[in-house]
Copies of this chain bind each other. A is one copy, B any other.
Amino acid sequence: MSDPFVVVGGDAAGLSAASKFRREAPDREVVVFEKGRWISYAYCGMPYFIEGRVERLSNLLSLSPSEVAERGIDLRRGHEVVAVDPEEKTVRVETADGDSFEQPYGDLLVATGARAATGPFDVRGMDGAFTLHNMDTAAAIDAYIAEPDAYDPSRADVSAVDRERVERNAAMPAPETAAIVGGGYVGVEMAEALSGRDLDVHVFQRSDHLLPPFGEAVGERVEAELVDKGVTVHTGCPVEALVGEDRIEGVTFDGETFPAELAIVGVGIRPNTELLDGTGVGLGEGGAISADEYGRTTLPDVYAAGDCATARHAVTGEATWVPLGLTANRVGRAVGATVAGDPTPVGDTAGTAVVKAFEMEAGRVGLVEDEAARAVGFDPVRETITAGSRSGYYPGASPTDVTLVADRATRRLIGGSIVGADRAAIRIDTLATALEADMTVPEVERLDLAYAPPFSPVWDPVLVAAKVLDGTLDEA
């Protein structure tokens, strides 16, 4: 009997791979090592739990350990893989109990995810300062925000939770002012969440606009929405440090201290690749593990998937690091099939992302910023238009901004963004599909998109943008 398929990491990519492998190769062993107690939870749902819109922490769990076991997967929680020996085809495992052992593998999938980066902001050991790191942090933030006598312990209704940490945070006095360091996804979503908890929320963004990967047009609309809903947005405002001893007291910028009793640091994430240190594995953008169109790393029989791995970009064809949930699931599933003997391409990433900020919805795809486009050899031409989301006479029509970016010489669509209050985000899927099909702007302009007064004007905002950009390309 061959050595097992060993999966490192029990979240989206790892369990998608193990599940698919289990179905396709029922006779071969599969072992999943997860260093923590948590598996398969909805990272993207955590802000909505903290907001209170999602009632229970358990609502964010996709799969329980017993469900995983029922699938015939040997899941070992509290087992950390600390090293890989690609020559011997073994991994070194250390358990939470202090044991350690060598585990041979036939095939290995590294699906170790990413962790919140903190930059110069060390939140450890400082009460009231958090990254949105995992379910324990989400539970702790939720408990910290509540008035001590008003905290409902049934919110954190999962046995895996760090109960002591939750109780300690629940006992602290409730904060009134929150400083969010970083105006990316986490920052914007947490601004909405903390406003929903009646905090006075301040977002500090280093650059000139929020949500840099979404481009300026989106950043400005989202900022206006946050401000409209009572959030204070400080753009062009790099925070220098967190202030406080045992508990957060504020953040400093421009030499001044802004007092706050809660700080959320959302300044990006970093891939977890340490277990491959010393193996010589190829690394790519952002230090993520290089993975090819079948999820293979540069080491034989070693695959990587999810937030720790690169993926091929739909526009550039180059390896890129865009850690997102669907990619983790899709790549994991494909690797599971491939290892089971059914070679399955993992698919490209188009960098498709959407975000909600109160009533505003935004999406982005491909190469939105000029620098990103130029860096890979395109000569970007862009237009941003505003058009109604519905026929003007139909109630609920809302101005929708569409930005399209094309390559000057070939007229190929290379990126875009959409922002608006009415069904704006989901429209990005149209652009994602067009991008993956290598469509030109004239081809997008001629797309037969839907029209009915409650849903779209005759010329959908996407078509209006294509029409305008095509005109600009004529002149360019």
Contacts and interface: CB of A to CB of B under 8 A. Distances in A.
Interface of A: 12, 42, 44-45, 48, 53-54, 59-60, 314, 324-327, 329-330, 345-356, 361, 363, 365, 391-395, 423, 425-430, 432-434, 436-437, 439, 443, 445-456, 458-460, 462-463
A407 B44 CA distance: 36
B432 A429 contact: no
A325 B463 CA distance: 14
Contact of A451 (B48, B326, B439, B456): B326
20 contacts: A44-B451, A44-B453, A48-B393, A59-B393, A326-B449, A346-B446, A347-B447, A347-B448, A349-B448, A352-B451, A423-B423, A425-B452, A425-B454, A425-B455, A430-B430, A430-B433, A432-B450, A433-B439, A433-B449, A434-B437
Contacts of A44: 391, 451-453
Nearest 4 A/B pairs, CB to CB: A347-B446, A437-B437, A59-B393, A350-B448
A390 to B, nearest CB: 10
Contact of A42 (B54, B355, B393, B449): B393
Contacts of A361: 454-455
Contact of A452 (B330, B355, B451): B355
Given A48-B393, A394-B48, A451 B325 contact: yes
A354 B450 contact: yes
A370 to B, nearest CB: 22
A458 B325 contact: yes
A429 B350 contact: no
Given A347-B448, A352-B451, 7 more contacts: A314-B448, A326-B458, A352-B450, A428-B450, A429-B449, A433-B434, A437-B439
A437 to B, nearest CB: 3
A141 to B, nearest CB: 17
A319 to B, nearest CB: 15
A191 to B, nearest CB: 15
B53 A348 contact: no
A470 to B, nearest CB: 10
Contacts of A393: 42, 45, 48, 54, 59-60
Contacts of A45: 391, 393-394, 453
Contacts of A463: 326
A47 to B, nearest CB: 9
A463 B347 CA distance: 13
B391 A459 contact: no
Contacts of A458: 12, 325-326, 329
Contacts of A447: 347, 429, 432-433, 436
Contacts of A449: 326, 352, 429, 432-433
Contact of A330 (B349, B356, B365, B446): B446
Nearest to A428: B450
A460 B429 contact: yes
B448 A351 contact: yes
B354 A426 contact: no
Contact of A427 (B12, B429, B445): B429
A414 to B, nearest CB: 14
Contact of A353 (B314, B352, B355, B450): B450
Contacts of A460: 429
A452 B325 CA distance: 9
Nearest to A327: B448
B324 A394 contact: no
A353 B330 CA distance: 30
Contacts of A346: 446
A314 B443 CA distance: 12
A432 to B, nearest CB: 6
B48 A354 contact: no
Nearest to A366: B448
B459 A326 contact: yes
Contact of A433 (B355, B437, B451): B437
A452 B356 contact: yes
Contacts of A363: 450
A343 to B, nearest CB: 13
A230 to B, nearest CB: 20
B391 A448 contact: no
A76 to B, nearest CB: 24
A458 B15 CA distance: 14
